[in-house]
Amino acid sequence: MDLLRIISSHTEKLLFLIITGCALFFHGYPVDWLLPVVLVLVAMLLRGIRVTQCPVSLLHGVCFFALLLLFFSSFWSGNPDASEVTAWRLSAAVWCFFLLSHRECDKTVLFSISLSALCAALLGLVEYWQTLTRVTSLFSDPNVLSAVMYVASFVGLYYWVSSTRQDSCRPGKATMACFWAGQLLLLLTLFATDSRGGLIAWSIGVVGLLILNAVTGAGHARLLKQYCLISFIAWSAITILPRLLNLDAPARYYGDLVSLNGRLPIWQASLHLFANAPWLGNGLGTFHDLYPSVRTELMTGGNQVHNDYIELLVEGGIVLLSLFCSWLVLHLWLLLKVLLRGAKGGCSGFALGILLSCNLMLFLHAAANFIVYVLWLNLAMGMVFALICRIAWQEGYLKPPQWHVIPKFYNWCGGFALLFITAPFTLSATGMFLFDSTRERPQWVVKLTGDLSAHAVILMLSPSNQTATIDLMNRLKVAMEQSNDRQIQHRIFRQIWIMVKMLREDAPFKARNHLIAAQLIDYAEANDIPLPEDAETFEQAWEKAVTLNPGYLQAHVVKAKRIEREDADAAFRLLIGIGQGWFQFAPEKQVQDYLQMLQHLMVRQSLQRDS
């Protein structure tokens, strides 16, 4: 049994390192669809060898209700593509809390968060000294990387304070050197991101620690002075050293989001979506599909609102935002209790204040960037909150919960319900990973999806899986175009039309689905294939697509190809009239198709003039 306990302890650290590492290095893929499986296995492992004080009935019960809420939010949203991924990212913190909060998990948190963040910091510094521009490392946005850096830095400070609060626990010189080297590496990358939101949040957090140390009398003034000195060295190395070495540092690009003048129009446009469903919201994962209908071509920021509170309000309504703000208020209330206890709190109060500051920095940063929807930061917030609750219960800041009030009923039905609820999320995300050709996939995945049996399995288990449906439709369309038998063509067309109809019913706010219908109608008219009675005209389907997304370049290219058959000049005028501002929102493939079509029409016009 002792051997099993040791294996379990190290297995937990390894599993959480794999989870945080995948979340960091692969942008959530494939961890989005492996996360539920891995966490269920961890829960079973902890239950089987009794290494946790948290009853399994409580774990099943709370996860059951949390995931039930997310499941219905996904159902109400009508967005089978994005909602399950968003749901897992939002529920990751819940999982981590209930798997970690009732045991000595300090080393697990430190090991998984710090090691993955240090690897990202090392890669980020290599990137910075190669380009001398805002470093993004593994992320597409430097603001996210800055949040990863200051979270890992504060977690390291917490572990140092908690492990050295006894006089007998004095670290050696080698330990101190490794600790400050790690802090220097994290802070160097933090300044290299040049994230204004991240640096402001981190600066407020450092000031908060100075105040907290003075109020609690923890006696860590020397530690904080050394931390500030390391911070100054890191700032000097990033900002002053390149100038002293006469390195050619290009100007850093911020766009027009430097001030509130650039962000306010985005926020105001996003709030129009909130009015459509104020209480329960439009559903998790729907923002990126709904936002194009209210933005203008002059707005920057891509499909991001750059304010997680507004995005939560749009997707989850007043209910979800209230829950999130309640979590924020709980952190503030605990911090106030630490400050009011003053010197009586001592080192434990100061250590708790570090963890509270860590999460509060993320809450503050979320008002200016996208933080809540990043899987790694979800995991970190959940782990940190687990430590906060454990310390608060031990030190008397919170009253320990009475576990015996939880009925044993959850122990029997909670696990089954948990698996049934997580199954749709897992299947849908798996379909995205297997069949989404717009993402870079491993070669073995491409070979696997070449067999239609994979589609059959996914669609049998998850009939509304849009990614698998679209991939299968594309294969059927190729077979229809290659067939010389008119009867077979008509049968395949009717089958494709049924699938398109299902796509539009499942997600009516997706411009992509309406464009697919318009393309199918255009193909039927061009090849004399009879349309079903419920089919609309090309113009009606196309109008729905561009109403939902006015800057949908692919939709304009499709219409230009249709017009070209009768009037090439009109097709050229259609494309040339599209504002250049829409290019910033479109994927690179759509921009290339647009430019190729425009070039084709220009060549055709020149040939007509020459003739």
Instruction: Give the model's pLDDT for residue 260.
Output: 60
Total residue length of the chain: 611
Instruction: Give the model's pLDDT for residue 447.
Output: 66
Average pLDDT, integer, range 190-209: 91
Average pLDDT, integer, range 147-151: 93
- CA 23 to CA 379: how far, in whole Å? 9
pLDDT tens sequence across 472-513: 888 888 888 888 888 888 888 888 898 888 888 877 778 888
Terminal-to-terminal C-alpha distance of the chain: 89
pLDDT at 239 over 90: no
Tokens, residue 149 = 């850096």
Distances, alpha carbon 575 to alpha carbons 24, 45, 511, 569, 594, in Å: 40, 59, 19, 10, 8
Question: Comparing 245 with 565, which gets the higher pLDDT?
Answer: 565
Question: Comparing 566 with 455, which gets the higher pLDDT?
Answer: 566
Q: Where is average pLDDT lowest: 200-209, 223-232, 407-416, 498-507?
A: 407-416
pLDDT at 598 over 50: yes
Average pLDDT of every residue of the chain: 76
Q: What is the dihedral of CA 170, 173, 174, 179, to 10 degrees?
A: 70
Instruction: Give the model's pLDDT for residue 433.
Output: 64
Give the rounded percent of residues in the chain with a pLDDT score beyond 70.
66
Q: Cis bond leading into 30, ω under 30°?
A: yes
Sketch the domain layout of the chain as residue ranges.
111-395, 551-611
Q: Which residues of 108-140 are buried (b: 16+ CB within 10 A; e: fewer)?
A: bbbbbbbbbbbebbebbbebbeeebbbbbbbbe
**Amino acid letter, 122:** L
| Number of Cα atoms under 13 Å in the Cβ half of residue 324 | 24
Q: Which residue has the tokens 């490794």?
A: 178
pLDDT band of 42, cuts 50, 70, 90:
low
3-state secondary structure of 288: helix
> Closest Cα to residue 132, out of 257, 245, 24, 230?
245
- CA 517 to CA 326: how far, in whole Å? 44
Burial class (CB in 10 A: 0-12, 13-18, 19+), 282: buried
Distances, alpha carbon 111 to alpha carbons 3, 17, 182, in Å: 21, 7, 13
Instruction: Give the model's pLDDT for residue 344.
Output: 80
0.85 exceeded by pTM: no
Residues 6+ apart with CB under 8 A from 528: none
Q: What is the distance of C-alpha 455 from the center of its chain?
A: 26
Contact 545, 536 (CB under 8 A): no
pLDDT at 148 over 70: yes
pLDDT tens sequence across 57-114: 444 445 555 555 554 444 444 455 555 555 556 556 566 665 665 555 677 777 778 8
Instruction: Give the model's pLDDT for residue 277.
Output: 80
Question: Comparing 110 with 407, which gets the higher pLDDT?
Answer: 110
DSSP notation for 371-385: -TT-HHHHHHHHHHH
Contact 197, 369 (CB under 8 A): yes
pLDDT band of 11, cuts 50, 70, 90:
low
pLDDT at 328 over 90: yes
pLDDT at 1 over 50: no
